[in-house]
């Protein structure tokens, strides 16, 4: 990086900041040339000041304080509304380490590009320095980072999504590894130039340097493009750190289930985006006596504990959830969570100063201001809220948050669930025959595309471990790490059992067969019974499925004919399924682990045996 002379107006560098952090920030200050530098302490007073400044700038619109206390609406630039997978790069030293699912550019070439983009990029703006912890401060699996940004919206969001501020900075000592995160909206201001409500740049880069643990983001102020602690650190860089250190970064929710007898189990579950992760993490059981509590709705870090059993933490401190489709009928817990102290982005504004989005209520209001700031009625051609509109809120506000969600040692993982959005073939639930079979389930996980992912809606997309856009390494190496971590857990006394679910199978009438939501407790009940060696099963191409009578489907509102349809097998369709999985694995070349190939062969044999 070429250094130019520049002296910002103020620098409030904390006295206890590690010299390495200070030197890195000083280098960025000299290059990006902000007018001011603010080191964030994460205090409530700091947050109030940020909000007041953004309200004055028009970036945040205060909502009706009686309806939605201390909550605000942000409207992004229409060109900056979602993560940009096509502009996301893994700049590993070797192209083969990025694998076929990632965009790769040689590190030296990308650094040269970023050097030019960042030069003077923060002129006229404030650089905020945000030390943050991923996980409970001081925990054995917690990792630390420092992000600089010139977006107060990103500061506010990072303060919600991480443990950001002085406590995190105090943990970064001379021997502490920390991830360097540099972000700019790429919109410098000339003296006297009027700022815009949502500064960004049409040029966008979200870049990762795995070996040096760096993330550089340019041009976007939206979501995971700019909140670098989220997908960029917690999954892409963390998957490489875990590869080196022997643990797993997983795109998985984390929940606690308590049976009527008081037995407690913790479950990690991986679903591709927009497949009901948050709904599942906040499940409200319909069966009396059962209790489900939330530890996290998106990301889990899973590592061997002192006894060899796998433990997990939620590295995040908040929820960055998709608003459309969330309502009282689908997720009352999420609705309660965002009743106050919430930042909404790209939702619609009601005439009485509240927010609305598609799916919040059965019928839309007669008039709204849409996410672009235009008048909207039910006759409008476009939705009132952007399909990827979001809410950002502290996890501590969740009514079902578990009392052990911030346990520094993490919680023991008893079961792992994979699930996608599949209209056919995949049964409601199946148990893997072994850890290796479970890894095969994860490696070949598929889902129909939704608005949250690039591509044609409805098209089948293989999304291994729900990590396709989020792995910072060769995907087959990620599978190998899952095999290794599971083998070590089994040698130490037992690995979690693995299951696959499909809430989205459709009948011949094109409608969903399984009611889902709170009725999913029936499936969870059977899964927990299987952990104890109970619950009758039958074998099939996908693993062990519930035997007749093992799940009280009548109680869930599903009759015998519909239940049979949830597990129906069509040999020709399954042969096509296996062929698709084989072609998918072939794309990863020689790195595909032998046990994964062996499980595919076993699946094909079981399909061939069908009548």
Instruction: Give the pLDDT score at 295.
Output: 98
Q: Which of 370, 397, 424 is the last residue of a domain?
A: 397
pLDDT of 8 strictly over 80? no
Helix (H, G, I), strand (E, B), or coil: what is residue 343?
Answer: strand
Dihedral class, residue 589 (left if φ above 0, else alpha if ψ from -120 to 50, else beta): left
Residue 417 included in any domain = yes
The yes-or-no verdict on residue 456 having pLDDT over 70 is: no
* Residues 350, 311 share a domain: no
Average of per-residue pLDDT across 456-484 = 91
User: pLDDT at residue 458 above 60?
Assistant: no
User: Angle between the 571-586 and 594-608 helix axes, to the nearest 10 degrees?
Assistant: 160
Mean pLDDT, residues 271-297: 93
Q: Does 545 reside within a domain?
A: yes
315: left (phi over 0), alpha (psi -120 to 50) or beta: alpha
Residues 313 and 323 in one domain: no
Domain that holds residue 114: 19-60+83-246
Residue whose tokens read 């509109």: 389
Residues 293, 255: contact at Cβ < 8 Å?
yes
If asked whether residues 498 and 551 sit together in one domain, one would say yes
Q: Which of 215, 228, 405 is nearest to 317 (CA)?
A: 405
Which one of the listed residues 91, 200, 275, 398 is annotated catalytic?
Answer: 275
Residue environment code for 31-64, b if the CB has 16+ CB neighbours within 10 A, otherwise e: bbbbbbbbbbbbeeebbeebbeebeeeebbbebe
Residue 242 reports pLDDT greater than 70 = yes
CA distance 147 to 28: 11
Are 210 and 271 in a shared domain?
Answer: no
CA 51, 56, 62 angle in degrees (round to 5)? 60
Same domain assignment for residues 300 and 254: yes
Q: Are residues 338 and 242 in the same domain?
A: no
Read off the pLDDT of each residue in 113-126 and give the average, rounded to a whole number. Answer: 98
Which of 397, 418, 449 is the C-terminal boundary of a domain? 397
Q: What is the mean pLDDT of residues 310-328?
A: 96
Q: Identify whether the C-beta of residue 61 lies closer than 8 Å to the C-beta of residue 349.
A: yes
pLDDT digits (tens, 9 = 90+) for 21-42: 999 999 999 999 999 999 999 9
Mean pLDDT, the chain, whole residue set: 95
Number of domains in the chain: 3
Sign of CA dihedral 149, 150, 152, 157: negative
**Is the predicted pLDDT of residue 454 greater than 70, yes or no?**
no
Query: Residue 450 has what pLDDT?
Result: 54
- Same domain as 538, residue 596: yes
Does 1 have pLDDT greater than 60?
Answer: no
- Check residue 493 and give its pLDDT: 84
Per the domain annotation, does 71 fall within a domain?
A: no
Is 398 designated active site? no
**Would you say 186 and 203 are in contact if contact means Cβ atoms under 8 Å apart?**
yes
* pLDDT value of residue 29: 95
pLDDT tens digits, 400-423: 999 999 999 999 999 999 999 999
What 3-state class would DSSP assign to 596? helix
268 in the same domain as 309: yes
Q: State the DSSP string of 167-236.
A: HHHHT--TT--EEEEEEE-S----TTPPPPSS---SS-EEEEETTTTEEEEES--SHHHH-TIIIIIIII
CATH number at residue 594: 3.90.228.20
Rounded distance between C-alpha atoms, residue 34 and residue 127, angstroms: 6
* Residue 521 falls inside a structural domain: yes
Please state, for a pLDDT cut of 70, what percent of the chain lies above it: 97
Same domain, 418 and 563: yes
- pLDDT (tens digit per residue) in 138-159: 999 999 999 999 999 999 999 9
49 and 38, same domain (yes or no): yes
* 231 and 333 together in one domain: no
pLDDT tens by residue, 40-72? 999 999 999 999 999 999 999 999 999 999 999
Pairing of strands 178-184, 143-149: parallel
pLDDT tens-digit series, residues 354-385: 999 999 999 999 999 999 999 999 999 999 99
10 Å Cβ neighbour count for 384? 27
**Tens digits of per-residue pLDDT, 513-555?**
999 999 999 999 999 999 999 989 999 999 999 999 999 999 9
Q: How large is the average pLDDT for residues 491-505? A: 95
Q: Which uninterrupted H or E stretch holds 530?
A: helix 521-531
pLDDT band at 275 (very low <50, low <70, confident <90, very high): confident
Q: What are phi and psi of 320, to 5 degrees?
A: -120, 80
Which among 210, 226, 246 is the end of a domain? 246
Q: How far apart are CA 316 and CA 296, in angstroms?
A: 8
The verdict on residue 4 lying in a domain is no
pTM for this predicted structure: 0.95
Statement to judge: residues 288 and 311 lie in one domain? yes
């Amino acid at each position: 990086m070429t250094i130019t002379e520049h002296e910002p107006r103020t620098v409030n560098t904390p006295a206890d900041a590690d010299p390495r952090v200070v030197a890195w920030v000083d280098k960025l200050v000299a290059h990006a040339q902000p007018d001011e530098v603010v080191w964030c302490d994460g205090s409530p007073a700091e947050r109030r000041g940020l909000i007041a400044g953004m309200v004055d700038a028009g970036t945040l619109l205060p909502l009706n304080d009686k309806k939605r206390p201390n909550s605000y609406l942000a409207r992004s630039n229409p060109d900056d509304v979602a993560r940009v997978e096509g502009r996301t790069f893994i700049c590993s030293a070797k192209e083969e380490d990025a694998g076929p699912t990632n965009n790769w550019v040689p590190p030296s070439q990308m650094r040269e590009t970023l050097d030019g983009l960042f030069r003077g990029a923060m002129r006229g703006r404030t650089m905020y320095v945000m030390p943050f912890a991923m996980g409970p401060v001081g925990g054995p699996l917690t990792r630390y980072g420092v992000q600089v940004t010139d977006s107060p919206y990103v500061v506010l969001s990072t303060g919600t999504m991480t443990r950001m501020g002085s406590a995190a900075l105090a943990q970064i000592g001379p021997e502490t590894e920390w991830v360097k995160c540099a972000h700019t909206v790429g919109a410098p201001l000339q003296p006297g130039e009027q700022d815009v409500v949502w500064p960004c740049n049409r040029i966008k880069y979200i870049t990762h340097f795995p070996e040096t643990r760096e993330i550089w983001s340019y041009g976007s102020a939206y979501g995971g493009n700019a909140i670098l602690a989220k997908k960029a650190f917690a999954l892409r860089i963390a998957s490489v750190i875990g590869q080196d250190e022997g643990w797993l970064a997983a795109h998985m929710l984390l929940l606690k289930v308590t049976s009527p007898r008081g037995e407690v189990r913790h479950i990690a579950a991986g679903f591709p985006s927009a497949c009901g992760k948050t709904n599942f993490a906040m499940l409200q059981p319909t069966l009396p006596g059962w209790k489900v509590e939330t530890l996290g709705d998106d990301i889990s870090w899973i590592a061997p504990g002192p006894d060899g059993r796998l433990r997990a933490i939620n590295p995040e401190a908040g929820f960055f959830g998709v608003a459309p489709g969330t309502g009282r009928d689908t997720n009352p817990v999420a609705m309660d969570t965002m009743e106050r102290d919430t930042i909404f982005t790209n939702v619609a504004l009601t005439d009485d100063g509240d927010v609305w989005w598609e799916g919040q209520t059965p019928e839309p209001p007669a008039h709204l201001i849409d996410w672009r700031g235009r008048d909207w009625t039910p006759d409008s051609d476009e939705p009132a809220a952007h399909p990827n509109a979001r809410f950002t809120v502290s996890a501590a506000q969740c009514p079902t948050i578990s009392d052990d969600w911030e346990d520094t040692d993490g919680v023991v993982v008893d079961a792992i669930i994979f699930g996608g959005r599949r209209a056919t073939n995949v049964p409601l639930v199946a148990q893997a025959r072994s850890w290796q079979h479970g890894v095969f389930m994860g490696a070949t996980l598929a889902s129909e595309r939704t608005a949250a992912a690039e591509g044609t809606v409805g098209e089948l997309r293989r999304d291994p471990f729900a990590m396709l856009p989020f792995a910072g390494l060769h995907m087959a190496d990620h599978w190998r790490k899952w095999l290794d971590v599971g083998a070590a857990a089994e040698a130490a006394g037992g690995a979690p059992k693995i299951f696959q679910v499909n809430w989205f199978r459709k009948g011949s009438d094109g409608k969903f067969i399984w009611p889902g939501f709170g009725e999913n407790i029936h499936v969870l009940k059977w899964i927990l019974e299987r952990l104890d060696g109970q619950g009758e099963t039958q074998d099939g191409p996908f693993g062990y499925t519930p035997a007749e009578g093992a799940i009280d489907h009548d109680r869930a509102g599903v009759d015998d004919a519909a239940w049979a349809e949830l597990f129906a097998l069509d040999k020709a369709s399954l042969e096509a399924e296996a062929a698709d999985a084989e072609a998918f694995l072939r794309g990863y070349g020689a790195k595909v682990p032998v046990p994964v190939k062996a499980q595919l062969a076993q699946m094909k044999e079981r399909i061939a045996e069908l009548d």
